[in-house]
Structure formats: structure tokens, C-alpha cells
Amino acid sequence: MQISKLLVAASLLVVSTSSAFAQQAFTSKNDLDKRPVVAIATELGVEPQQFADCFALVTPAADFNPSGERQHANKALLLPCLQSANPALTNDLLDAVMDKYRGQHI
């Protein structure tokens, strides 16, 4: 009985924390505020603020369709930064997640 009360309390904490992150505005020198930061961070296994901090290093394409050269340059900055937060993060996962959300700006 006590364990289920703890699980419910923990679930409520996770939901309220997730809601707070979902409502937080992520702005930066680039277009981060136009991206689903919480969803991307969750899929990459990092905190939303960690993703925001790492993404601040890149130069995204204005039309959300970066050239191959720009993708490689951005990834050279983004991947090592994100891996410092989640060492299990792979290049393939980063590609898949960023491709998934590339066209879904606000």
C-alpha cells in the first residue's frame, strides 16, 4: 500500500515537472524557440535545458532545411555536447530525432 502511494506521488511529480518544462520558453540566438525542445530532449535522453544549451552552439538554417555541409558542421558541435549529458547518445539517434522534428516548428 505504501509503495503505491509513493509511485503515485512520484508520477505526479514527473507530470508537474514535465508541464513546467513544456511551458518554459526556450529562446536563443537562433530559432530554438520554434522547436519542440521538450520532445526532442526526451527522445535524446537529456534534460530540455541541456538540449537548449547545446543547441545554442549551432547555426540552424532559416528554412529548417539545412544543407548537408551545415548539418555536418552543426552535428560536430551538437553531438559531443549532448553526449556529455547522455554518453549513450549515438549519431544515428541524433539524426533520427532531429530529422523527425526538423519540419515541426511552431
Q: Provide the residue ranges of all domains of the chain, joining segments of one domain with +.
A: 26-101
First-to-last alpha carbon distance for the chain, in angstroms, is: 43
Residue with cell 506521488: 9
DSSP 65: -
Which run of H or of E encompasses 15?
Answer: helix 2-23
Residues 47-98 pLDDT 10s: 999 999 999 998 876 656 667 788 888 899 999 999 999 999 999 999 999 8
**Number of neighbours of residue 38 by Cβ within 10 angstroms:** 19
Residue with cell 540566438: 29
What's the CA gap between 88 and 95, in Å, rounded? 14
- Please say whether the beta carbons of 54 and 78 come within 8 A: yes
Residues 13-50 pLDDT 10s: 444 444 444 445 555 455 677 789 999 999 999 999 99
State the pTM of this model.
0.67
